[in-house]
Structure 1
């Protein structure tokens, strides 16, 4: 990418957008890698928690009730905006739906 032809304003806009995009992509990559790892260890009869020195599978199941629920939906441009799909819809989800989007597009 040749940035030498960009104006100062365009460069400053890129400077503002790049950290946000990096953060979003890092979050996406972490989710992707975690899913791959979970599938890999599950195929061998283990849980990721067991292998990483966490609780055993039996104990993890018994303590799971009342714990934090995993997010089911994520904003496509802002990875830090997530929703579990429970309770009232966040404003960003309402705005997405009002602009013609659907929840399937936000699914993780």
Structure 2
């Protein structure tokens, strides 16, 4: 392994090195995952199965389920909220004005 004297680098050089190192690590891990997946698929195929048959699930990344919106801003129809997580500012403002969440329900 190469030894580097990082004390000679300024902040911009250190940030650039950090960014490039993080990208190289991510690329390396992705290649290793692909190699492991290919080896697992080959082993399953040699035994007469697909990898999906053996693990009982898709090898593809599943998409995270998104909660459908429950509330809509009547002043700006593009602003919605699922009712989970932090309240958007337009909900906070409406509640401060003594309005009810029921006033903003999409399906009543």
More RCO (CA 8 Å, sep 6+)? 1
Q: TM-score normalised to the size of structure 1?
A: 0.44
Name the larger-Rg structure: 2
